[in-house]
């Protein structure tokens, strides 16, 4: 049997000093013990990352990926420490979205051998968002709230939509549901709701939370900015102790000073690190696509090509990877590795209501960090991931 050792094991509930972890031949944890006679020079074992907001990487987009594309994508994500992720859509024509949801569901339901990251659900980002804060989402495909259409999306996804981004201020047409009705409906159906791409006022944001929203999508980006008299959605996201809050910690989307403010406000229990990665992640600068939209990537910035052609700059996802997000948040805030790992693993699993405890009988999924907090190795289902 294979054995893993380290200076400490960080779990979702605490830490174990000098762990000795025995693995079964089929990649499960057989036993976890502690032996102070086993000495490792500061190495730390943790759960792998859970990215709840990824559109793709390694030149592959989750909305158009074939089965072989997903293998390449999942291989790349695993090499950056990701064990599980939510495949995230972009607002598109209804038929395109339905087809994409079905393809992603196929991948979720496919069993792969080998040390690969696993899509465990779908994050539906749009189409029920604000025109005023749409970001790269095409204006022609943004729709008014619709319980009927949400149910069609979930049927196409075969129940795999785990998270949906909704702008809570969006009204319905006469006789049709509002965003608040849709939030309540999705919540009742077991789907977590994230407030995002939103121009909500304070009252509208609070109403979204009361209707069932539990998180905020890429906090500060595509959100009404904070005002000292009308705080608006971004201030409510920071202030609310009922709401998790995503953040893209790449030094491009959010300035370090604001990263520090976010962490002070949300603490180590409510902040969630995400990548919002697109197909260009892990690739050289050049031209790429995000759900069919042209994107120019240069110097760490992903910019919508059609807006560039008109003299405007609109960020279109990122090339961030989760290992860099964890390193960045430590460098920008002085947070410990333990805190950074809560933001990248524990909190997203808590937000989704998942139990990813490291216990005997569970899959042998680990990240191994050096004494200086650098990701050294990833093990998924007992197999070492090539880096």
Over residues 340-376, the pLDDT tens digits come to 999 999 999 999 999 888 999 999 999 999 988 899 9
CB of 365 within 8 A of CB of 47? Answer: yes
Does residue 307 form part of some domain?
no
Give the per-residue pLDDT at 356: 82
Mean pLDDT of the chain: 95
pTM score: 0.96
The 10 Å CB-count burial string (b at 16+, else e) for 330-344 is bebbebebbbbbbbb
For 30-73, what is each residue's pLDDT tens digit?
A: 999 999 888 777 899 999 999 999 999 999 999 999 999 999 99
CB of 200 within 8 A of CB of 230? Answer: no
Please tell me whether residues 17 and 153 are part of one structural domain. Answer: no
For 241-281, what is each residue's pLDDT tens digit?
A: 999 999 999 999 999 999 999 999 999 999 999 999 999 99
Please tell me whether residues 114 and 124 are part of one structural domain. Answer: yes
Does residue 309 form part of some domain?
no
Alpha-carbon gap, residue 276 to 290, rounded angstroms: 11
Range of the domain at 142: 48-281+316-355
The predicted model gives 278-286 an average pLDDT of 96
Give the per-residue pLDDT at 174: 60
CB of 29 within 8 A of CB of 23? Answer: yes
Q: How far apart are the first and last CA of the chain?
A: 23
- What percent of the chain has pLDDT above 70? 99
Please tell me whether residues 77 and 29 are part of one structural domain. Answer: no
Residue with tokens 């200076």: 7
Does residue 89 form part of some domain?
yes
The predicted model gives 162-187 an average pLDDT of 91
Does residue 321 form part of some domain?
yes
Please tell me whether residues 38 and 110 are part of one structural domain. Answer: no
Domain count, the chain: 2
Please tell me whether residues 24 and 113 are part of one structural domain. Answer: no
Annotated binding site for Zn(2+): 125, 197, 218
Please tell me whether residues 206 and 264 are part of one structural domain. Answer: yes
Please tell me whether residues 16 and 106 are part of one structural domain. Answer: no
Give the per-residue pLDDT at 172: 72
Q: Mutual orientation of helices 256-270 and 232-239 as an angle, nearest 10°?
A: 40
Catalytic residue among 61, 69, 250, 276: 276
pLDDT band per the 50, 70, 90 thresholds, residue 173: low
Alpha-carbon gap, residue 227 to 233, rounded angstroms: 10
For 8-29, what is each residue's pLDDT tens digit?
A: 999 888 899 999 999 999 999 9
Annotated binding site: 125, 136, 197, 218, 221-222, 229, 253, 315-317
Annotated binding site for substrate: 136, 221-222, 229, 253, 315-317
The reply to whether 309 belongs to the active site is no
């Amino acid at each position: 049997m294979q054995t893993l050792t380290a200076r400490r094991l960080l779990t979702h509930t605490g830490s174990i000093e000098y762990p000795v972890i025995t693995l079964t031949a089929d990649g499960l944890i057989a036993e976890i013990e502690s032996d102070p006679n086993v000495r490792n020079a500061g190495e730390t074992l943790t759960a792998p990352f859970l990215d709840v907001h990824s559109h793709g990487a390694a030149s592959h987009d989750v909305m158009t990926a074939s089965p072989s594309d997903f293998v390449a994508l999942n291989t790349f994500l695993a090499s950056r420490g990701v064990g599980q992720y939510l495949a995230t859509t972009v607002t598109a024509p209804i038929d395109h979205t339905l087809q994409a949801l079905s393809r992603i569901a196929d991948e979720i339901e496919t069993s792969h051998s080998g040390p690969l990251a696993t899509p465990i659900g779908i994050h539906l980002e749009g189409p029920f968002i604000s025109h005023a804060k749409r970001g790269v989402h095409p204006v022609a495909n943004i729709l008014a709230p619709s319980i009927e259409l949400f149910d069609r999306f979930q049927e196409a996804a075969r129940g795999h939509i785990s998270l949906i981004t909704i702008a809570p201020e969006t009204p319905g047409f006469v006789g049709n549901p509002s965003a608040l009705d849709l939030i309540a409906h999705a919540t009742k159906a077991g789907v977590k709701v994230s407030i995002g791409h939103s121009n909500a006022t304070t009252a509208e944001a609070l109403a979204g939370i009361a209707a069932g929203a539990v998180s905020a999508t890429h906090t500060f980006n595509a959100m009404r900015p904070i005002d000292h008299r009308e705080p608006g959605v971004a201030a409510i996201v920071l202030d609310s102790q009922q709401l998790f809050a995503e953040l893209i910690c790449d030094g491009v989307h959010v300035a370090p000073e604001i990263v520090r403010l976010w962490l002070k406000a949300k603490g180590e229990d409510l902040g969630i690190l995400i990548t919002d990665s697109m197909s260009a992640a892990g690739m050289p600068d050049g031209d790429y696509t995000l759900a069919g939209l042209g994107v120019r990537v240069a110097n760490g910035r992903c910019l919508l090509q059609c807006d560039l052609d008109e003299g405007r700059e609109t960020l279109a996802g990122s090339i961030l990877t989760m290992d860099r997000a964890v390193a960045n948040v430590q460098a920008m805030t002085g947070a410990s590795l333990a805190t950074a790992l809560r933001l990248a693993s524990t909190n997203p699993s808590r937000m989704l209501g998942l139990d990813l405890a490291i216990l005997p009988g569970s899959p042998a999924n680990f990240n191994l960090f050096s004494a200086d907090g650098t990701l050294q190795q990833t093990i998924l289902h007992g197999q070492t991931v090539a880096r």
